[in-house]
Amino acid sequence: MDVTLDDLARLVGGKVTGDGKTVIRAVNGIREAGAGDITFLANSKYAPLLASTKASAVIVADGTPAPIPALSVRNPDFAFGKVAEHLNGAASRPPAGVHPTAVVSPKAVLGKNVSIGAGTVLEDGASIGDNSVLHPQVYVGAEAVIGPDALIYPQVVVRERCRIGARVILHSGTVVGSDGFGYATDKGVHHKIPQVGIVVIEDDVELGANVTIDRARFGRTVIGKGTKIDNLVQIGHNVVLGQGCLLVSQAGIAGSTRLGNYVVMAGQSGLIGHLEIGDGAIITAQSGLTKDVPAGGVMSGSPASDRRTHLKELAALSKLPEALQEIRKLRQEIEELRKKTKE
């Protein structure tokens, strides 16, 4: 699909510098781009690559100079996403209908225009909303509900009675509704505590690949509207996530912890159970939280403390080997002074 830079400016609302008639055929990275490609610059770390990129045009933030035809916008990431979507067309979706090898209970309920892939299993009372796509080899348990316009990739499991909202995307290998990790230990035996609750995934959530979301012991584990979760993240039973949270890969949350809205957990960070995390809090990578966090808190370290405190401690630690030598010197000098004052 060929368009001009001027066309793209009309699409995303930016301002062109250089030749607006430049023809654009595809999107690409700043290193990989060639003639006919448009690239973008969102991270200033890559600004030096602009001088040598072979792209025909670039999307930059307002005020950023560019040596090639450019489209200046408020949010280059967002604009580039829209351009990519425009140039690639809507992602191809499988045709509507139920594949002959799918195993759909006569008691399952299918909306209009759904696509059910090969080998996918829908148990009694499972319900799929209009226009939803279930790729091959998906499992949807009894009485589970999937909303409209969902996109479920191959080999996802949604266990019985869980509820998935509209426009939700679930990537391969993800398990929604496995039992929470709960045992009552009595005389050396770990007795399983029944996990009779469900998982509720609200609208516009996306879960990455091989994510695990445990069902509640009773009641609901909740993933709030518009929250995005990366690969291999663990969400324990009865956890409640607010809206618009971002959980990066390999983060984990133990049972019954509650997050506000727009909380960010960076990669490999962890929260113990039964915490309250305020709106907009940020947990930095590999940090381990053991205490509640107020709204807007930024926490680092394991165990985590306020980020500024943590950075001060790290800076101090880097001076510690020298400080220990200094202490030894002070000791010697004091001994010498003592001798002198005794004289």
Q: Which stretch binds its own copies (CB under 8 A): 14-22, 55-63, 126-134, 189-197?
A: 189-197
Touching its own copies, residues 219-278 (CB under 8 A): 219-220, 226, 228, 230-232, 234, 236, 238, 244, 246, 248-250, 252, 254, 262, 267-268, 270, 272, 274
Touching its own copies, residues 67-86 (CB under 8 A): 75, 77-81, 84-85
- Is 2 a binder of its own copies (CB under 8 A)? no
What does the per-residue mask of binding to its own copies show for 43-62, with x meaning CB under 8 A? x-x-----------------
Residue 283 near residue 305, CB atoms below 8 Å: no
Phi then psi dihedrals of residue 12, to 5 deg: -110, -5
Please select the residue that binds its own copies; options are 111, 125, 154, 278, rule is CB under 8 A. 154
Phi then psi dihedrals of residue 217, to 5 deg: -60, -45
What whole-number distance in Å separates Cα of residue 274 and Cα of residue 240? Answer: 10
- Of 127 and 217, which has the nearer Cβ to its own copies? 217
Active site residues: 237
Q: Binding-site residue total for its own copies (CB under 8 A)?
A: 120
Continuous H helices in the chain: 5-12, 76-88, 307-342
CB of 78 to its own copies, least distance (A): 3
CB of 281 to its own copies, least distance (A): 16
CB of 140 to its own copies, least distance (A): 10
- Is 115 a binder of its own copies (CB under 8 A)? no
- Of 52 and 341, which has the nearer Cβ to its own copies? 341
What whole-number distance in Å separates Cα of residue 321 and Cα of residue 193? Answer: 50
CB of 129 to its own copies, least distance (A): 19
What is the SS3 assignment for 92? coil
- Of 247, 248, 258, 273, the residue nearest 181 (C-alpha): 273
Please select the residue that binds its own copies; options are 3, 23, 49, 118, rule is CB under 8 A. 118
What whole-number distance in Å separates Cα of residue 174 and Cα of residue 163? Answer: 15
- Of 51 and 315, which has the nearer Cβ to its own copies? 315
- Of 182, 181, 219, the residue nearest 199 (C-alpha): 219
Q: Which stretch binds its own copies (CB under 8 A): 17-25, 26-34, 59-67, 108-116?
A: 26-34
CB of 336 to its own copies, least distance (A): 9
What does the per-residue mask of binding to its own copies show for 125-144, with x meaning CB under 8 A? ----------xxx-x-xx--
What is the SS3 assignment for 127? strand
Touching its own copies, residues 305-334 (CB under 8 A): 305, 309, 312-321, 323-324, 326-327, 330-331, 333-334
What is the SS3 assignment for 242? coil
- Of 278, 202, 199, the residue nearest 239 (C-alpha): 199
- Is 35 a binder of its own copies (CB under 8 A)? no
User: Which tokens belong to 334?
Assistant: 């004091």
221-226's contacts with Cβ under 8 Å and 24+ in sequence apart are 221/180, 221/197, 223/199, 224/261, 225/165, 226/202
What is the SS3 assignment for 144? coil
Side-chain half-sphere CA neighbours of 262 within 13 A: 7
Please select the residue that binds its own copies; options are 9, 27, 108, 222, rule is CB under 8 A. 27
